[in-house]
Structure 1
Amino acid sequence: MSSVSFAEQSATAIDIHDPYKLVQQVSEKTFARFAQDKALIDADLSHLKVIVREELMPYVDYKYAAYKVMGQYLRDTTPEQRDRFVDAFEGYLVATYAQAFTEYTGQTVQFFPASDFSDEKMVDVNVQIIEDGRPPIKIMFKARRLKDDSWKAFDLVAEGVSLLASKQSEISNLIRQKGVDSVIEMLYERTGEAINAKQDKESAA
């Protein structure tokens, strides 16, 4: 099992044809950017969205994720509605990841050894977040092989809870109740919400 500090930066180009290297290299690059831009983040937490959009989202298959979230309602939408939903969901993911990264305080991540993926269309990339004095946090990135033989991540499973599955349950219920256009507007609204600091969330609870 390899271990790397989030503050370390890999100068290597991202290997999009190996899902295990992809996850490790993107993780290193993203968290190195956090260290590099710490002053900007401290001044304005919304800068986390900039980092997520630039460093993370190019390697996330958010269109596939958006279609999975729509589930059975996908076939009832027009091409224009699908495009708008994908755009809104991509922004929503950026905001969701940016909010999650307010928990970042320089932890270390351990990457589990890679498995043979030559005949696989989907793989699970397992990592652990290590922080002194706390049990390791188990995280799994689910990645899929694209038609050009490259790979992208499409789901994040933290301590057994799938982000995609939880959002699918929530959003499909809302589509049933309010219709897809209302849900698209809701996603855009959530995308525009301010990122809250960890201590702000705790004091507001």
Structure 2
Amino acid sequence: MFKRFSRLLLPLVWIFTVTNALAADTTINTMDPYAMVKSVANKTFDRFHQDKAVIDADADHLKVIVREELMPYIDTKYASYKVLGQYLKETTEDQRNHFVTAFEGYLVSTYAQAFTEYTDQKIEFLPGSDYSNEKMVDVNVQIIEAGRPPIKLLFKVRRLKDDSWKAFDLVAEGVSLLSSKQSEISNLIRQQGIDSVIKMLEDRTKDKVTKQPKAGK
């Protein structure tokens, strides 16, 4: 049920991990959406290599990296509310809060699992544009891998009330992860109810991260 979403999340993980490993300054400038994405990529890539021995011993440590390095720059509340869609107004405040927490945990688990698929793809960041009067911007990137056509991605980032920026969606080859998840969640809520969906997400959060054998090995 959730496998397709997980596969589509892999390019997002590559954005955060496959870029300049020699980042001298890991300060995250959240006031610039383009600089933020690049800085988070540098910082996460550095942490990924720094903790390699820990990850090799326990792949679940990837959840720690995701929660500490990625999630602070993802607007999980906004994304969760978008995913709830028409059912947002039909939920109680307690249900909404529980859904946000469960959905964030699910994303952490999904991103962490996606980290196990990391190889040596290269990232090309396309030039940004003037965002001074914008409320949302797209950070356009391409995943470059030898012998394959580039994968076109855009990372959607929104301006918050304090003028800082956070990411909330990734569009991979024209497929919005948020829209895809909204459609799936809406169907599940209609069929089973919000509490059942929250429980399902919580169960997925508990899944252990497992390393998959590389192709040909």
Could you tell me the TM-score, scaled by structure 2's length? Answer: 0.86
3-state SS of paired residue (2:27): coil
Partner of 1:31: 45
Q: How does 1:1-205 map to 2 (within 5 A)?
A: 5-199=19-213
| Structure 1 pair 10–81 and aligned structure 2 pair: CA distance change class (3 A) | farther
- 8 Å contact from structure 1 (residues 6, 108) kept in 2: no
Any stretches of 5+ residues in structure 1 without a counterpart?
A: none
- 8 Å contact from structure 2 (residues 26, 42) kept in 1: no
Paired AA for residue 111 in structure 1: F
3-state SS of paired residue (1:119): coil
- 8 Å contact from structure 2 (residues 84, 182) kept in 1: yes
Any stretches of 5+ residues in structure 2 without a counterpart?
A: 1-17
| Structure 1 pair 173–10 and aligned structure 2 pair: CA distance change class (3 A) | farther
- 8 Å contact from structure 1 (residues 15, 22) kept in 2: yes
Fraction of identical pairs, as percent: 69
- 8 Å contact from structure 1 (residues 127, 139) kept in 2: yes
Q: Distance in 2 between matches of 1:89 and 1:5?
A: 27
RMSD, aligned CA: 1.8
- Deviation per CA, 1:115-169: give whole Å up to 9, x if none: 0111111110011222333332222110000011000000112222211111111
Q: Distance in 2 between matches of 1:95 and 1:126?
A: 25
Q: How many residues are treated as equivalent by the alignment?
A: 199
Deviation at 1:95, TM superposition (A): 1.1
Paired AA for residue 75 in structure 2: D
Q: Distance in 2 between matches of 1:38 and 1:138?
A: 29
